[in-house]
Amino acid sequence: MLSQIPLSYFLIVSTLMFFIGVYGFLTRKNLITILMSVELILNSVNINFVAFNRYLYPEQLQGHFFALFVIAVAAAEAAVAIAIIISVYRKFMNIDVERVDTMKH
């Protein structure tokens, strides 16, 4: 049964995933890989929401619905980010964050 797995296992998995995403966010230089790290971070937050919902408040569905809304926000964010990335690529012919510094003062 599910009760054999404590809640903290889920939280540890999502914590590790979150910090792996932060590592990728800090070390990568390509805009698309940075976007993928952000997706990892959002996904780990979703696991937290759902596990808390199932283990602590199973009679309400708040975590479930907010996980749904986070997925929708992540989809919108990915669409806008990719539009920006394509626009940047047209202007600079690459998407390396260190070479896109025209607006840097």
Q: Within 28-47, which residues bind another protein (CB under 8 A)?
A: 28-30, 32-33, 35-37, 39-40, 43, 46-47
Residue 68 binding another protein, by CB under 8 A:
yes
> 64-87 burial by CB neighbour count: b if 16+ within 10 A, else e?
eeebeeeeeebeeeeeebeeebee
| Nearer residue to another protein within complex by CB, 7 or 99 | 7
92 contacts another protein (rule: CB under 8 A): no
Longest Cα pair distance anywhere in the chain, in angstroms?
59
103 binds another protein, rule: CB under 8 A: no
**Residue pair 91/34 in contact by the 8 Å Cβ criterion:** no
Closest approach of another protein to the CB of residue 6, in Å = 8
